[in-house]
Structure 1
Amino acid sequence: MSTRREQRSTGSELTPMKFSRLSRRGVLLGLSVAQLITLGIGGLTLLAAFYGGAGMLLAYSAPIWVLCAALTWIPVAGRPIVEWLPVVCWWLWRSTGGQLLYRRRIVKPRPAGNLALPGDMARLREYRDPESKACMIHDPRQATLTVVCEVTHPAFVLLDPGEQERRVTSWGRVLATVCRSGRIATLQVLERTLPDSGSGLAEWWSEHGTADGSWAATTYAELIERAGPAGERHATTISLSLDMKTAARQIRTAGGGIRGAAAVLRQEMATLTAALRSADLTPTGWLGPGQVAVILRSAYDPAVAATLERHGRLGQELATAGPVAVTETWGNLRTDSAWHAVLWVSEWPRSMVYPGFLAPVLLSTGIQRSMSLIYTPMRSDQAARDIRKKKVEHISDAAQRARMGQIEDASQTAEYQDVLQQEADLTAGHGVLRVSGLVSVSAPTLDELEAATAAIEQSAIQASCETRRLVGQQAVAFTAAALPLCRIV
């Protein structure tokens, strides 16, 4: 994950913004912990063979220290082989245990209150808040309580530069509010493209049209009926996750248990709602169980998304909102009616860009995709300690390289400047967040999925971003990218 920094201006002109670089600095001399371990094993083996008799012992032990050197320095897809070992081993373990396949047992009902989801999400529980009528998702293992809000907003790219700058500044205040709370575990912004059922056009015509039986009115109504299902629409949700461990004292004060956590979360919901309205975002309300169920079902079974929206109460039960079948492969995920692939935004723009830089990705037409921005706020004291630690590591590494006669790399200098800028922003009162970007692409067939994925990758290049497919962990990545449950990879 990378740490995001926003530059604000008091003028009316649109100000470019900059993202901090994703730190790739190792623990020692650019080497990670895994690389140091394998290098240490190889070095100790080489020394033991050399002092134990050299000659033949060096030849006998050669497979060990040569393998360690290869694991340490040979890259595969931009990462050393040793860093792929945990992913591959975990994949093999899940393969032998049959955990890559999920089939719902339709004759065996789920326990009351549990979500019908595969994998580690099977432990998630539903709680209906009696006061706000919102559906709260409780994760007992991670000790979080999550609620989802749907928001509407005008098209950002159609606004004038002064209005765009004002809205960017207002959104920065929303993120700063989340940082100051100290009780928020994760904030997720999920933007999805959905097949339009035509209900939106029909509702607009019923409110603003004149159905007087004339030729124009009849023709317009027929066009709406035919064009609606062939189109697509965008939907945006914001999910808020309460850290029940951090808020333990407030939860006990509010009565304890899940009811006390819900009371504390309602306070955060009220604060976020006020902040969103001040940023000219319109929250349409916190989603109930039926609305959350439709989102979950539409993600796993896109073919029925338009049908669920067109029919009133159909599919609005969380007990049946999960998939019927899931099959995970190394680079894809197969669910009820679609294939999915999840891309990780591994590099945000390194140069100054304007706030609408993601428009090529978000406005791509003809592709069904979901994009999640997952914000992890850091408390001010924790962020200050983290920045001090990074400064000490950068300075000590620079001194070590100077003693060894190594030349300072430009990327290392840029990372150190990012740390200094983060310290200046924190001192000025701004919040520090870690942000991850995930894009989930869906298609009816595997060939269409590959074509859509390639199109999204090209759109990301136009947005000055670098994306990588999350191989070996597509199921976990899909839940984080396509579901508004504040999951992390």
Structure 2
Amino acid sequence: MTDTTALAESRATTVRFARLSQRGLLLGLSASRVACIAAAALLATVSVFLAGPTGFLATAPLWGGLVALAFVRKGGRVLVELLPTAAHFVVRGVLRQDRFRVQAGRPRPAGTMALPGDGAALRFLVDDVTGAAIVHDPHEGSLTVVAHVDHSAYILLSPEEQRRRVTGWSRVLAGLAASGQCIRAQALETVCPDSGEGVVGWWRQARAEATSDGVAWATEQYDALLDTYAPSAATHRSLIAIAVAGPSGALGSLRGARGVKEVDRLRQEMSTLESSLRAADLRLVGWLSEDDLANLVRVAYDPTAPGSVPRQLDSAGPVALDEHWNWVRHDSGYSAVLWISEWPRTDVGADFLHTIVFQPNVIRSLSITATPLSPRQAIRDIRRAKVEHVTDAAQRARIGAIADLADAAELDDVLDRERALLAGHADLKFTGLITLTAATIEDLQDAVAQVERAAIQCGCETRRLQGQQARAFTAAALPLARPVH
């Protein structure tokens, strides 16, 4: 007899992620760590030759500090690699660039988005043809539009249908990468706790009719279900933002002949994405207008603000924002951004993030940014990784160090990536960020701990970003397909 359950599970789509590369300049150590170790060795050697043991002990705090910088970790990062971020954070604090306040007497110029930090350079315009809000980054030279997508519950589908949906979504990403125009794509899933009044109100209207049909037992079960789960209801919204190459410079550059051509090219990408989404059984609700995008931005910075009030993008930004080392304070909330530093290392289903997405009673957003790499750039990265692996293996053999399985696993990941590239598949670099928001700093710490435990259940490792929370919040909480550094 055939085990249908095992057969269905075997047909379910599984994925495996590559490990985070740990290659470096020497024996897996980065250039900055090697420089610290070399400086410490040089300082200790010179002190011994000049002053003997006394000089060695006298300079111990100096060379010992350098060694500590090379090996001591904080927040998952080595101290010497954290120094540039810490220095930048301190400089911004001295210059008061870690604070943002709206100046009522000095309104922002028309067409700006009134965002803090590097988002202050963003401009926008409304497409006359599609009505979509187009975000222009004059520094990067990119144009971004956002699509609101609706879809059925993936986890309730059959294994065959799940596999078909995953294949369809992979074709969407492959199409964006193959066009050569898309420089970045962002899938953003926002989750906000809901009072449950909508579903409760619907059931109250339908309950009388269901009771009259003689299904009292079913109505009792629905009543018990709503009493249990309605308080923990949540509103989910799926957004896809695509950024394509556009003109650099001021917003006026979009009004010229070249700007009109770039906008036409953007419309072609939008049309292609619409077709790909239909083929993947994803329903395009619509391209976000200025009012829709403004509401998303406002609610991200002020979770207590109503989400259905007509707004404009030039006034949707935060009223006040204070950046701290590992969290940010904005309007009526506190937020922290977590980076998914390691994806699952074993075969997992395509719904492996289910525990994070459906974590109850937490205001959060899950952002996955895909950056297409050109074939030439991908081949160059693969060759560099292979050379680093061979060099590292030779150095380990020279000094008699034992090679571990992690090195072999990284090499296998590089070779799998090369095989996929030679087979004609697109090469994309994925970055996952989780934004958590709470009303108080204590609630935020609880939410961070809760989501970190959920990430462990998903097979992921997360790190709380340090010294760059404001920039990460703009990239992770807003559907703007911003670059992540």
TM-score normalised according to structure 2 size: 0.87
Stretches of structure 2 lacking an aligned partner (at least 5 in a row): 1-8, 214-218
State the 1:258 CA deviation.
3.1
Asked if 1:408 is matched to 2:403, the reply is yes
Quickly say closer, same or farther: Cα 1:264–1:94, change in 2 above 3 A: same
Quickly say closer, same or farther: Cα 1:201–1:371, change in 2 above 3 A: same
1:336-370 deviation digits (Å, cap 9, x = unpaired): 11111111111110111111111111111221111
Tell me the residue number matched to 2:241: 239
Tell me the residue number matched to 1:342: 337
Tell me the residue number matched to 1:156: 154
Tell me the residue number matched to 1:21: 19
Within a 5 Å distance, the mapping from 1:320-339 to structure 2 comes to 320-339=315-334
Quickly say closer, same or farther: Cα 1:24–1:12, change in 2 above 3 A: closer
Quickly say closer, same or farther: Cα 1:255–1:323, change in 2 above 3 A: closer
1:205-230 deviation digits (Å, cap 9, x = unpaired): 9xx97999x999xxx9xx9xx99998
Q: Distance in 2 between matches of 1:458 and 1:14?
A: 26
1:4-56 deviation digits (Å, cap 9, x = unpaired): xxxxxxx9911321001111121211110111222232233334445556455
The 10-residue stretch of structure 1 (150-159 or 42-51) with the greater mean CA deviation from structure 2:
42-51
Within a 5 Å distance, the mapping from 1:73-222 to structure 2 comes to 73-196=71-194
State the 1:63 CA deviation.
3.4
Within a 5 Å distance, the mapping from 1:256-295 to structure 2 comes to 256-295=257-296
SS in 2 for 1:403: helix
SS in 2 for 1:28: coil
Q: Distance in 1 between matches of 2:342 and 2:406?
A: 13
Stretches of structure 1 lacking an aligned partner (at least 5 in a row): 1-10
SS in 1 for 2:14: coil
Q: Distance in 1 between matches of 2:195 and 2:262?
A: 37
Quickly say closer, same or farther: Cα 1:90–1:15, change in 2 above 3 A: same
Q: Distance in 1 between matches of 2:55 and 2:292?
A: 68
Quickly say closer, same or farther: Cα 1:389–1:343, change in 2 above 3 A: same
Q: Distance in 2 between matches of 1:210 and 1:45?
A: 81
Equivalences, count: 459
Q: Distance in 2 between matches of 1:61 and 1:15?
A: 59
State the 1:197 CA deviation.
7.8
1:130-159 deviation digits (Å, cap 9, x = unpaired): 222211111111221111000000011111
Q: Distance in 1 between matches of 2:183 and 2:46?
A: 48
Kept after mapping to 1: 8 A contact 2:165/2:280? yes
**What amino acid does structure 2 have at the position aligned with 1:319?**
D
Tell me the residue number matched to 2:3: none
SS in 2 for 1:19: coil
**What amino acid does structure 1 have at the position aligned with 2:459?**
S
Task: Decide which of 441, 464, 469 is 2:436's aligned counterpart.
Answer: 441
**What amino acid does structure 2 have at the position aligned with 1:281?**
L
Q: Distance in 2 between matches of 1:139 and 1:428?
A: 34
State the 1:107 CA deviation.
2.0
Kept after mapping to 2: 8 A contact 1:12/1:162? no
SS in 2 for 1:484: coil
Quickly say closer, same or farther: Cα 1:315–1:101, change in 2 above 3 A: farther
The 10-residue stretch of structure 1 (164-173 or 58-67) with the greater mean CA deviation from structure 2:
58-67
1:222-245 deviation digits (Å, cap 9, x = unpaired): x9xx99998421001000011337
Tell me the residue number matched to 1:392: 387
Tell me the residue number matched to 1:308: 307
Q: Distance in 2 between matches of 1:300 and 1:315?
A: 16
Tell me the residue number matched to 2:216: none
SS in 1 for 2:291: helix
**What amino acid does structure 2 have at the position aligned with 1:372?**
S
Kept after mapping to 1: 8 A contact 2:23/2:388? no
Q: Distance in 2 between matches of 1:86 and 1:293?
A: 34
Quickly say closer, same or farther: Cα 1:229–1:261, change in 2 above 3 A: farther
The 10-residue stretch of structure 1 (188-197 or 323-332) with the greater mean CA deviation from structure 2:
188-197
Cα RMSD, aligned residues only: 3.1
Q: Distance in 2 between matches of 1:229 and 1:137?
A: 37
Q: Distance in 2 between matches of 1:473 and 1:360?
A: 26
Runs of 4+ displaced beyond 6 Å: 197-200, 202-205, 208-212, 226-230
State the 1:335 CA deviation.
1.2
Percent identity among equivalent residues? 43
**What amino acid does structure 1 have at the position aligned with 2:35?**
I
Kept after mapping to 1: 8 A contact 2:189/2:238? yes
Kept after mapping to 2: 8 A contact 1:348/1:465? yes
State the 1:95 CA deviation.
1.6
State the 1:126 CA deviation.
0.7
Tell me the residue number matched to 1:4: none
State the 1:294 CA deviation.
0.4
1:92-150 deviation digits (Å, cap 9, x = unpaired): 11221112221111221101111111111111101212222211111111221111000
Q: Distance in 2 between matches of 1:352 and 1:383?
A: 24
Tell me the residue number matched to 2:359: 364
State the 1:433 CA deviation.
1.0
TM-score normalised according to structure 1 size: 0.86
1:136-185 deviation digits (Å, cap 9, x = unpaired): 11111122111100000001111111100111111111111122122222
Kept after mapping to 1: 8 A contact 2:370/2:431? yes
